[in-house]
A and B are shown apart, each in its own frame.
Chain A
Amino acid sequence: MVHDIIIAAIVVVVAGGGAAGLVPYVRSRRRSLPPGGQAPAGGEGQPGRSGTQSGATATATLAPPEPGTVAPPDLTAPPDLTAPPEVPARVVEKPPPSAGRLTRLRGRLARSHSAIGSVLLNLISAGKLDEQAWEEIEDTLITADMGVGPARELVEELKTEVKVAGTTDPAAVRQMLRTDLIAMINPALDRTLHLARHGDRPSVVLVVGVNGTGKTTTCGKLGRLLVGDGKTVVLGAADTFRAAAADQLQTWGDRVGAKVVRSDREGADPASVAFEAVNVGIQQGVDSVIVDTAGRLHTKTGLMDELGKIKRVIEKHGSVDEVLLVLDATTGQNGLRQARVFAEVVDITGIILTKLDGTARGGIIIQVQRELGVPVKLVGLGEGSDDLAFFDPQVFIDAILGE
């Protein structure tokens, strides 16, 4: 009986409440509001996680150094934001610069792609491109998580090209395949990180993604990469949810001597930690601030609202320069849905594809790039602290095809 009632309730609610909203009034989607257009005041969506937002009892143990600094605008009592304990007197590492990293790491990429590359080449080199061969090429592309649609499209295009050229010469076909694949990854997209300082304030990078894609690790590596390029950074540990996430980031920060801004209690408001991180960045006059956020599944509305709030609150200081979505190369077709939702909420400007050193190929980025126009900017190619490299479509494809 209970279930009847429940279902009836849903029917009623939907028929009544839902429909009321479906009246063609122009509904302003709150999420797409221009940044800073609305003060993130009281009415913010409360994050759905328990145990957070108990800011009332917190007292600032470390007052902002300047009396005139703007306090986080949305909180009556900001949580404790203490600077990390003094960096222990250990040798601060000097990471290598970013240039040429992908070339160095090509071996790993080739390792992960050799299977698909050799299968494709075998099919092409067999010299007989009949229907079955084409189908197998399509299937091979599908196993790279490219998705059925794009794989089919690519094969159709290649088929036409081969017909037009009237050749089955393996080298020529291979060249066509290479060109088509590179075209699908669209080399024209701007893949640089825009991290120049804005006058008196640092550039800001926000790192977002679902759980377990490697956001915190990537933040650490990105910090190293920037330090290696001679920049100064501050890391913001706005992942206040996962146990020991801030400690993890702290470990990364200590290694390169970067300051880590964190809250000293779990479950603090991440937006205020992020805000404070940028604050510290301004005071210290660093080049960039990298803000790590908690992993959140894109289906959790409350958490996505929280993320939107983090971005809006940071924007009190000025624009957020890069919002990087961390995608795991093992992710399948769900990656597209993730990217869509994240793009809607925080307007991502780039993708970091991690864990490419495994057997996964990360083909999902093709669909993501095509649909959202957001380029892959960096790739993670291993567990080593300097295994994060700028993405280059040509090197990437050549590694797949195993030149």
Chain B
Amino acid sequence: MKTFRIGGVHPAENKLSAGKPIVVAELPKQAVFPLSQHIGAPAVACVAKGDVVKVGTKIAEAGGFVSAPIFSSVSGKVNKIDSIVDASGYRKPAIFIDVQGDEWEETIDRSETLVKECDLDAKAIVEKIKNAGVVGMGGACFPCHVKLSPPPGMVPTCVIVNAVECEPYLTADHQLMLEHPEEILVGVQLVMKAVNVTKGYIGIENNKLDAIKLMTEKAVQFPGIEVVPLKVKYPQGGEKQLIDAVIGRQVPAPPALPVSVGAILQNVGTMYAIYQAVMKNKPLFERVVTVTGKSLANPQNFLARMGTPMQQLIDACGGLPEDTGKVIGGGPMMGKALMNTEVPICKGSSGVLIMNMTEAKRAEADPCIRCAKCVSACPMGLEPYLLSTCSAKADWERVEKEDIVSCIECGSCQFTCPSHRPLLDMIRLGKSTVMGIIRARSAKK
């Protein structure tokens, strides 16, 4: 069975909510839409206080090419355009909408019937995806249409769908595959048409055997699409790791893109969103979110509207347990601890993980014992101990030379460190500083 070649770790899977059907979450009383839900320029609000909106009404325009519009997930009245404390504790601009009823835009096709035939050409498909505000739903939130418009001179040869879900605990993508396999496959076909390739791969780790079986069965009707079972290893969901695992090619160091080895990568959730955007005229305003945790009474998968406060989903699972140590937005490896639970669900919220006290506690850092476990674990072939030390000493020249910008921040080094050193914390700092230095340098030129 295939997997990527360099590094990787095996965290406990803990897929507590696996096999739990997707439950439609209740509408919130007030939905909040941060204007910057994606990588790139923040969206620009195009509604004003007091405006009446429906489900699917555009409330913010894209702020540039690398940006995406935002659509209302509820019907009601715009209460205010103000700021909200985001997951990290800083204030960001957001649109607040008071929910009244549940009235949808007429253009959206709400029927459940599967539409397979699409007579749009490649350009029209990308345009439709762009106008529906679809972004990468794996967590990075990179605007989808940008990936589908490769720079001139680069010719994609295949589409790779990331259905790996290598983060422990999370089951949103798994459940989505079980409940909407055909829609996803139509989505893959649309993307293949949009970038003009004939080959599509769906990479699934073999801890989701039911999904592999179901997708393989359904894929027979879709020529060119192949399901690739993969060995379980973290971080297989990283785009460079997945390309290596599926087609055995390695993406050069940044600024090279996956398309430079001919691959277009999309998350399986994104494929579903693309299907809905192109075939059902439904912009991106809801997504599957896993709410899970060992102490949580009832871990579940929800279909939640964007802007729903996370607290509401936690309450629907039985409320915050008493021994809660941390609430994490995303998975345990790459997710970020939330400052408060009133943070709304955004385009990139794949899960809410409630860690108990014992899980959440970070052991005290001991001195580095030079065991080089982090070096063997790093899927990018970097030397985390060195990057971390040099970042702590603010030796930016050295870390740049040591290729810190290649770091994908997967956290394998910190996970594997027997001295519990905060490697990733320091590397993140170094990476963001070096990126800033590089940007400033290219701006000067």
Chain A partners chain B: no
Q: B residues engaging A (CB < 8 A)?
A: none
Q: A residues engaging B (CB < 8 A)?
A: none
